[in-house]
Amino acid sequence: MNMVEQNASATVSDDTAASTPRAGDAASSGPRPQDKYSPTARRKRRRNLVILGSAVVVIIAGLLLWRYFSSYESTDDAQVDVHLDPVSARISGYVVKVNVGDNQWVEKGDVLVEIDPTDYQVALAQAQANLANSEATARSLNITVPITSVNSTSQLQFTSSGIEDARAAIAAAEKQLAAAHQQVEAVEATDVKAQDDLRRYKLLVDKREVSQQIYDQALATARSSTANVAAAIANEAAAQQVVQQTQSRLTQAVANHEYAQTGPQQVSSTKERVQAAIADVQEKQALLQQAELNLQYTKIIAPDSGEVTKTVVVGLNVQPGQQMLTVVPLREVYITANFKETQMKHMRPGQRVQIHVDSSGRDYKGHVDSIAGATGPLFSVLPPENATGNYVKIVQRIPVKVVLEPGENRDLQLRPGMSVEPTVYLR
C-alpha cells in the first residue's frame, strides 16, 4: 500500500512539475492558471484515481481472500470408519444351519447361525431334575425344624421329671433297705434267744427234767427263727438291689437329661442343614439358568443391523470365542480425519463439516463430534521415541471424529475404508 501511495505521489509531483511553468517562462509569458484544467491535467488526475482505487480493491480482495482461506481447514488424510460388530460363539457345538449369505443385510435380533441344541436340551432336563430334588430335600428339612424343636423341649422336660422320680425312688428304696436291715437285726436277736432256749431244753430233756414235748416246741421255734433270719437277710438283699436299680435309673435319667440339653444344638444343626439345603437349591437354580442360557446360545443372533461378512459354514465345530461372522453397521459410519497439529488451533466440536467422497464425487454434511486425546502414532504398537539424541521435528496428525448429519447416508453408499476429504468450517 505504501508503494502505491509513493507511485501516486511521484505521479502527482511529475504532473505538478509539468504543469508548473518555469521561472523563465513565467517571466516571459506570465501565470497561466487555466493549465490545471487542461485535458492533459484531467487525464493525469483520473489515472491517479484509478491506480489508487485499484490498489484499495486489491488490498480489500486480499483481506477477503485471507479471511476466507483461514475460515476452514481441510485434509485428504481421512477415511470412512465404523465400529465393526464381531459375532462369535459363546458355547461349543456343531453348526447345523447358517441363515445368511455373504454381504447380506440383516436386522438386529435376526438368527444368523444355529448350533445343534441336543446336548444342551439334555443338560437342561438334568438341571431341572436336580433342582426339583434339592427343593424337595429343603422342604423336608424345613418341616423337621419345628418338630425337632418341640421334641427337644418335651424331652428336656421329661428327663428333668425322670431325675426327680429316680431320686424319690432311691429315697424310698433306701428306707426299705433300712427297714429290712432292722428286720434282720430283730429276727437275728430272736434267733439267738431261740437257739439258746433250744440248747437249754436239750440239756434238760437229756436229764429228763422237762418233757419231750417242750423240747420239740423249742426245736420248732429255733428252726422257725433261723428261717426268719434267712428271709430277713434275703429281704435286705432285695432292698439293697432295689436301691442299686434306682441309682442306675437316676444315672440313666441324668444322662438322658444331659442329652436332652443338647436339643438346642440339634435344632441349630437342623437349621444349618436347612440353610445348606437352601444354598443347594440356589446352586441348582443357577445351574438351571446356565443350562437355559446355553440352550439360548445355540442360536447366534445379530447384535446390530448391517451387512454380514461370514466365515462359518454348516458342519463346522465351533468353540467358545471363535469368531464366525462380522456385522458392518452401515447406518453408524463416521469419518476419521487426521488433521495436522498446525490446523487444530481453532477447531472445536460442533463445527460444520463438508465431506467430499472420492469414489462418487458426492458431498455430505456433518459436524465435528470429538477430537482424539493424543496423536495417531501414540496409539500404534510401537510409538515413536524422540529422546534418542537425533530428534527430527515432524508435524504430527491428530484424529478428529466427524459424524454425518441425520439422513445424509440414507442410501448407505458410504462404506468403511473409503477415502474422503473433509472440510471443517471454523467460523
Q: What is the CATH number of the domain that holds 111?
A: 2.40.50.100
Q: How do residues 368-408 score in pLDDT, each as one tens digit? A: 999 998 887 787 777 777 666 667 778 889 999 999 999 99
The whole domain housing 340 covers 74-82+331-425
141 and 46 in a common domain: no
Is the Cβ–Cβ distance between 294 and 286 less than 8 Å? no
Beta carbons within 8 Å of 172's beta carbon, 6+ residues apart? 246
Neighbours of 134 (CB within 10 A): 20
92 and 78 in a common domain: no
408 and 308 in a common domain: no
253 and 278 in a common domain: yes
Q: Where are the alpha helices (DSSP H) in 261-339?
A: 263-296
Which of 263, 190, 278 minimizes the C-alpha distance to 229? 190
Is the Cβ–Cβ distance between 194 and 222 less than 8 Å? yes
User: Does residue 250 lie in a domain region?
Assistant: yes
pLDDT for the residue numbered 300: 94
Read off the DSSP letter of residue 423.
E
User: Does residue 291 lie in a domain region?
Assistant: no
- CATH number at 415 reads 2.40.30.170
CA dihedral (182, 186, 187, 188) positive or negative: positive
The cell 433250744 sits on which residue? 198
User: Does residue 307 lie in a domain region?
Assistant: yes
194 and 264 in a common domain: yes
User: Does residue 292 lie in a domain region?
Assistant: no
275 and 392 in a common domain: no
User: Does residue 230 lie in a domain region?
Assistant: yes
pLDDT for the residue numbered 13: 43
User: Does residue 182 lie in a domain region?
Assistant: yes
403 and 381 in a common domain: yes
Q: What is the DSSP string of 191-213?
A: HHHHHHHHHHHHHHHHTTSS-HH
pLDDT for the residue numbered 8: 37
At position 211, the amino acid (one-letter code) is S
CA–CA distance, 85 with 313 (Å, rounded to integer): 19
At position 37, the amino acid (one-letter code) is Y
136 and 11 in a common domain: no
133 and 255 in a common domain: yes
CA–CA distance, 218 with 367 (Å, rounded to integer): 145
Q: How do residues 319-367 score in pLDDT, each as one tens digit? A: 999 999 999 999 999 999 999 999 898 899 999 999 999 998 999 999 9
CA–CA distance, 300 with 370 (Å, rounded to integer): 34
Q: How many domains does the chain have?
A: 4
Segment-wise mean pLDDT, segments of 10 residues, the chain, 427 residues: 40 42 43 63 81 85 74 90 94 94 93 95 95 87 62 63 72 76 76 74 71 74 78 79 77 70 64 81 93 95 94 93 94 94 91 93 94 84 69 85 94 93 90
215 and 136 in a common domain: yes
For the entire predicted model, the pTM comes to 0.58
pLDDT for the residue numbered 177: 73
- CATH number at 167 reads 1.10.287.620
Read off the DSSP letter of residue 34.
G
* First-residue to last-residue Cα distance in the chain: 28
User: Does residue 234 lie in a domain region?
Assistant: yes
340 and 316 in a common domain: no
CA dihedral (298, 299, 305, 307) positive or negative: positive
92 and 53 in a common domain: no
